[in-house]
Chains A and B, each alone.
Chain A
Amino acid sequence: MNAMTKLRVSMFVLALTAAGQALAQANLEINTPAIAGLQASMQQRHSQLAGLYASGAVGLTRDGNVALRDANAVPLAQRQQVNSLVAAENQDRAALYREVARANGKPEWENDIRATFAQRWIQKAQPGWYYQNTSGVWVRM
């Protein structure tokens, strides 16, 4: 093999490596039973949370959670229930971020996944809902 052939072989190996890298980035694995279960649980809870987002009682935090934003928007009798709802939602969200990272064999991505979700939840929020901006201030959509 002369130098030129070796150069070509090297280039080929490099191209293959680059292609493999591009493929690895194309999609994240999210089709696991754990993720599907969390998705279903959160989807069901959303029917109760939607009204609380709309009234401004609950808002989307900048760290990918939900939080009780305005307790006065909730009748006293229901506050405990709303607190439990928020806690349960945040528990599912934490599990979701962890599971997505784990499903892709990269548990260390959990915080990056959370940050990505935090942005996307806010991006997809409905008009009238509240979210925290990067300084932590509540903003109305």
Chain B
Amino acid sequence: MQSKLAALFIALGCTLTLVSCVTINIYFPAAAAEKAADRIIDEVWQLKKGDQPAAPK
């Protein structure tokens, strides 16, 4: 009974791990991409933090 339960947990763990790996592969990190884009744009447009007037949104 106990070993059955243990096997179940291991199977569950493996499945979740596998699913997580697949998720990493297909998931687009939107927040990280935005940060990267901001860094590049600040460089290209020479926007320094602080000296740009707050743009009304």
On A, residues with C-beta under 8 Å from B are 1-3, 6-7, 9-11, 13-14, 17-18, 20-21, 24-28, 30, 35, 39, 42-43, 46, 96, 100, 109, 112-113, 116-117, 119-121, 123-127, 141
Contact = CB atoms under 8 A, between A and B. Distances in A.
Contacts, number: 98
Contact of A43 (B17, B27, B34, B46): B46
Contacts of A127: 55-56
Interface of B: 2, 5-6, 9-10, 12-13, 16-17, 20-21, 23-24, 27-47, 55-57
B41 A121 contact: yes
Nearest to B28: A112
A58 B9 CA distance: 60
Q: Which of B29, B34, B43 has the most CB of A within 10 A?
A: B29
A20 B23 CA distance: 12
Given A1-B6, A10-B10, A10-B12, A25 B32 contact: yes
B44 A46 contact: yes
B23 A21 contact: yes
A28 to B, nearest CB: 4
Contact of B43 (A21, A27, A43, A112): A43
Which 9 residue pairs of A and B lie closest in terms of their CB atoms, listed nearest first? A10-B13, A28-B36, A25-B29, A120-B37, A116-B33, A17-B20, A112-B28, A42-B44, A3-B6
Given A27-B36, A100-B36, A127-B55, A2 B30 contact: no
29 contacts: A3-B5, A3-B6, A10-B12, A17-B17, A17-B20, A18-B20, A21-B20, A24-B29, A25-B29, A27-B36, A28-B29, A28-B35, A30-B39, A39-B40, A39-B44, A42-B44, A43-B44, A43-B46, A96-B40, A112-B28, A112-B33, A113-B33, A116-B30, A116-B37, A117-B40, A120-B37, A120-B38, A120-B41, A121-B41
